[in-house]
Structure 1
Amino acid sequence: MSTATTLPTQVEAAAPIQAPSVRALFARQQARAAELRRQPPDLDARAEQLRRLSRWIADNRTAIQEALYADFRKPAPETDVTEIWSTQTEIRHTLRHLKRWARPRRVGTPLPLVGTRSWVQPEAKGVCLIISPWNYPFYLALDPLVSALAAGNCCIIKPSEMTPSVAALISRLVREVFSPEEVAVVEGDKDVATELLQLPFDHIFFTGSPQVGKVVMRAAAEHLTSVTLELGGKSPAVVDSTADLRDAAEKIVWGKSINAGQTCVAPDYVLVHETVRDELVEEIGAVVRRFYNASGQGVAASDSLARIVNDHHFRRVLGLLDDARQRGATVALGGTAEASQRFVEPTVLLDVPAGSRVLEEEIFGPLLPVLTFRNLPEAAAEVNTRPHPLALYIFSQNADNQQFLLRNIPAGGACLNETILHLGHPDLPFGGFGHSGIGRAHGHAGFLAFSNEKAVLQQRVGFTGLKPIYPPYTDKVKQVVGWLLRWL
């Protein structure tokens, strides 16, 4: 599936994984998890796992760049920022805070429980499955792994078969950094994923589409396994009449075009105030030329744009574009494509009729429908006709407008006058809302996702504050209970 490239990366097809070997691997990790559970948490050992991972990434930067280029011609600077830097940031942040996160957290004592002391004690869940996607195949395999290891778990990673170069690289990474009892990689197609999902994992972390997320959740329900689902959806960028349009255009184009639009939090469509639509579209065109056609040789000649991951998704993106055109949408910018390169030009669509597939399906490509609104309630209502988005981007210099949209549009996360960046903030819990996901990742939120927060209460021996209400329920006991209900 990879494009022709001058880089030397070559990847052989992964050998089929047989079910017995998967089950044997799972059993080995279960035994290791049980062993870890019987001894006090060794935070130094967890930290050393993360440091080994960080060193491997630093030592293999070129190999990571080559693998991403081989799979979908991702520019090296984008790989550095979105795959390598983001993973290293998560590791460094986790190492700085691990001891505090893992420490039992004292909680207060209510008056009826005077004499007790209580705390919340995080403990590892056990054996976890990470199913990673193809769009950010390195980062979205390793970012949840960082959280899982910090919490003290053993892990099996199932990388996407759509990015074979990166899948092979992750397999090599894991073999060189971890023992199979700690972390293992299982390569293969959906049949292998199905086999894995039949096992009673203690937690499943899945990143992908809502459709597949439902399959994962149904499988997890068979074992009452907890899940984190990082999904997607149609994330809007709302631009009001007070926005700095040049600034908004730069950030929207960057957020939409990075990774060729194959980003779960990419701006999926723009809602712009009708009085500034044309000016915003002009600014978007100027930004595209400045970013991707500075030489004047055409956007297709740019080495700053990734390609669509495979022929199936290339045809899918073109299908969205053709459907919009046939329904009467206007191509205001772009619209060209090259099948041999799986290249799709950044494209702006205007006057897109309701019911067009590009307005109904997650685009996951460099197509940008631009819709208009007359007032903020109308904009909020338009967004809320769809399932809750993974991200909401608000471009406005009016604080009241910002707060109105934040209050009236539910979303997994939001940025004011920016796109994408909340995903890279390690102290911001990242995740969706309803259709766009369940649970949170990154930083402390990721650590908690892979932890069981055990609630512990310690009572003194002998007389306690509650013994006066033990049976038999005499009149005196009833009087005490009444007093508790009235005053406490």
Structure 2
Amino acid sequence: MDAAGWDVEETVRELRQYFKTGETKSVTWRKNQLTAVLDLVHEKEDAIFKALHQDLGKHHVEAYRDEVGGVVKSATKSLSCVEKWMTPKKTDIPLLFFPAKGEVLSEPLGVVLIFSSWNFPIMLTLDPLIGAISAGNVVVIKPSEQAPACSSFLANTIPQYLDSKAIKVIEGGTDICELLLRQKWDKIFFTGSPRVASVVMSAAARNLTPVTLELGGKCPAILDSLPNPSEFKFAVKRIVGGKWGPCSGQACIGVDYLLVEEKLSSSLIELLRKIIRIFYGQNPVESKVISRIINKHHFERLCNLLKDPLVEASIVHGGSVDEENLFIEPTILLDPPLDSLVMTEEIFGPLLPIITLNKIQESIGFINARPKPLAIYAFTKDETFKRKILSETSSGSVIFNDTLVQFLCDTLPFGGVGQSGFGRYHGKYSFDTFSHEKAVMHRKLFLEIEPRYPPWDKFKLEFIKLAYKLNYVGLLLHILGSKLGLKRYN
């Protein structure tokens, strides 16, 4: 449904009323919706491929790898685990509180708003949705208008499969975003740019609404010396896959720039060129296996990054553009100026700057001089260097000797830090993101400890000090020792 046919306030009110019925809290409802998500992607696979090709020119194998397959994996995992995740978790209660028992109860937050992104418009819509419905919420989805075919597909298809009383999809541009942000939500999940995220966060603050922001940043790859030729080739192949493989570089977790020692730059560039030709052919625009740029605005933005004469002079591979097809060839830049836009803005496209260093250990200072990235990719066998990267840098994640794979690992949290976002999801972390963990303590109405109550005196103060210092058993032993004239119990 589009903005013209959507009463925002009324729809939110209806969703809130439906949530109050408790229907979405049942394990049956949650499993039914997760099964419906699986049915949707299985039965509409060809339609998904068509929409992704129409919006981004994605090859259907890439579309399955990065979008459909990820949704299947996520929904299957949640379907098999949701009942366990819902079960209250018993917790240890210190004996000081005896007799008592405690538990943590995960309850849905309520009415959730999900803003998805255009670069992975199916995955980045359905994956957070899986977490939201696993946790028992009602949801409004706002797909990105910059991927219109996928937005239309989601708006028309989701109501055919999922509970339309609990899950709504609305299309539109900035006008509908503004209307949505005026409402009171129990959670907002946003995937996109830091600029728009600041608008979302400001709006959420008015109602103290919790937010998860999945943003981006300039994710570096560090390439250490790897004397073994086969290992060096594996590393470079994975860097190529991590730069141009996901949506022609239009990915928040894609490699933004590469740090390497100067002595390795020539052999690195030679191998990069070779692997690019293997992956995408002599003329990548004709290969049909690399995505195009999403729209003319982003195409012109990327072209402008290359227009700086000093940046243009740093091109050592590629650089050709096809405006009619919104295609930019995989392009390698060697040591572009560090104050140029290509090195100060997130590239989000098929341009790879290589920055040479005297020693690879200098990469830590280089990264730390810039905003915290969503991911750091480090190719090294040096365990000491690995520990320094982990202890001396801050990023959403660190991946050694590979790229991108962390996004598909449900047992690890996915999220950023600082300007690359905050909050986390995937697997159980998605369930937790859309849940409130309610602490519950059960106590008995006997065995009262009177010193907790006034009127106060010196004895009660000493008793309270001991109570904080010792657990309940320790307190009893101390009292018993005092009675028997034993030494103080510690």
TM-score (structure 1 length as normaliser): 0.93
Contact map agreement 1:292 1:302 (CA 8 A) in 2: yes
The 1:486–1:178 alpha-carbon spacing in structure 2 relative to 1, beyond 3 Å, is closer
Stretches of structure 2 that go unaligned for 5 or more consecutive residues are: 472-490
Secondary structure of the corresponding residue to residue 155 of structure 1: strand
Letter in 1 for 2:251: T
The residue that corresponds to 2:214 in the other structure is 230
Out of 240, 262, 265, which is 1:274 matched to? 262
Out of 343, 361, 364, which is 2:348 matched to? 364
Out of 382, 398, 404, which is 1:420 matched to? 404
Contact map agreement 2:49 2:63 (CA 8 A) in 1: yes
Q: What is the distance in 2 between the residues matched to 1:195 and 1:398?
A: 52
Stretches of structure 1 that go unaligned for 5 or more consecutive residues are: 1-13
Task: List aligned pairs for 1:144-293, cutoff 5 A.
Answer: 144-242=128-226, 244-258=231-245, 259-293=247-281
Contact map agreement 1:64 1:169 (CA 8 A) in 2: yes
Moved more, 47-56 or 237-246: 237-246
Look at both structures and tell me which one has the larger radius of gyration over its CA atoms: 2
Task: List aligned pairs for 1:56-455, cutoff 5 A.
Answer: 56-242=40-226, 244-258=231-245, 259-293=247-281, 296=282, 298-323=283-308, 325-327=309-311, 329-455=313-439
Moved more, 197-206 or 111-120: 111-120
The residue that corresponds to 2:459 in the other structure is 476
Out of 2, 5, 16, which is 1:30 matched to? 16
Q: What is the distance in 2 between the residues matched to 1:396 and 1:66?
A: 40
The residue that corresponds to 2:480 in the other structure is none
Alpha-carbon offset, residue 376 of structure 1: 4.2
Q: What is the distance in 1 between the residues matched to 2:319 and 2:193?
A: 25
Letter in 1 for 2:115: I
Alpha-carbon offset, residue 410 of structure 1: 0.9
Letter in 2 for 1:277: S
* Count of residues in Structure 1 that have an aligned counterpart in Structure 2: 467
The residue that corresponds to 1:49 in the other structure is 33
Letter in 2 for 1:372: T
Alpha-carbon offset, residue 405 of structure 1: 1.5
**4+ residue runs of structure 1 moved beyond 3 angstroms?**
14-19, 325-329, 485-488
Q: What is the distance in 2 between the residues matched to 1:351 and 1:273?
A: 12
Alpha-carbon offset, residue 479 of structure 1: 2.6
Letter in 2 for 1:302: S
Contact map agreement 1:249 1:283 (CA 8 A) in 2: yes
Q: What is the distance in 1 between the residues matched to 2:336 and 2:24?
A: 60
Q: What is the distance in 2 between the residues matched to 1:249 and 1:79?
A: 23
Letter in 2 for 1:479: E
Post-superposition CA distance 1:412-462 (Å, at most 9, x none): 012111101100111111000111011001111110000000011111113
Q: What is the distance in 2 between the residues matched to 1:326 and 1:157?
A: 43
Q: What is the distance in 2 between the residues matched to 1:232 and 1:280?
A: 26
The 1:456–1:173 alpha-carbon spacing in structure 2 relative to 1, beyond 3 Å, is same
Contact map agreement 2:24 2:30 (CA 8 A) in 1: no
TM-score (structure 2 length as normaliser): 0.93
Alpha-carbon offset, residue 485 of structure 1: 4.1
Post-superposition CA distance 1:48-79 (Å, at most 9, x none): 11001101110111000000011121111111
Letter in 2 for 1:266: G
Post-superposition CA distance 1:355-385 (Å, at most 9, x none): 0100000000000000012234411010111
Letter in 1 for 2:165: E
Percentage identity across aligned positions?
35
Letter in 2 for 1:52: A
Post-superposition CA distance 1:138-197 (Å, at most 9, x none): 110000000000000000000000111000110122110123321010100011011101
Q: What is the distance in 2 between the residues matched to 1:360 and 1:252?
A: 21
Q: What is the distance in 1 between the residues matched to 2:259 and 2:169?
A: 42
The residue that corresponds to 1:17 in the other structure is 4
Contact map agreement 2:25 2:137 (CA 8 A) in 1: no
Post-superposition CA distance 1:223-282 (Å, at most 9, x none): 100111000000000001137321111111111112111111000000012221111111
Contact map agreement 1:204 1:225 (CA 8 A) in 2: yes
Q: What is the distance in 2 between the residues matched to 1:402 and 1:62?
A: 43
Out of 420, 437, 442, which is 1:458 matched to? 442
Letter in 1 for 2:290: L
- RMSD value, Cα: 1.5
Alpha-carbon offset, residue 109 of structure 1: 1.2
Secondary structure of the corresponding residue to residue 237 of structure 2: helix
Q: What is the distance in 1 between the residues matched to 2:133 and 2:17?
A: 16
Contact map agreement 1:328 1:353 (CA 8 A) in 2: no
The 1:70–1:113 alpha-carbon spacing in structure 2 relative to 1, beyond 3 Å, is same
Moved more, 237-246 or 156-165: 237-246
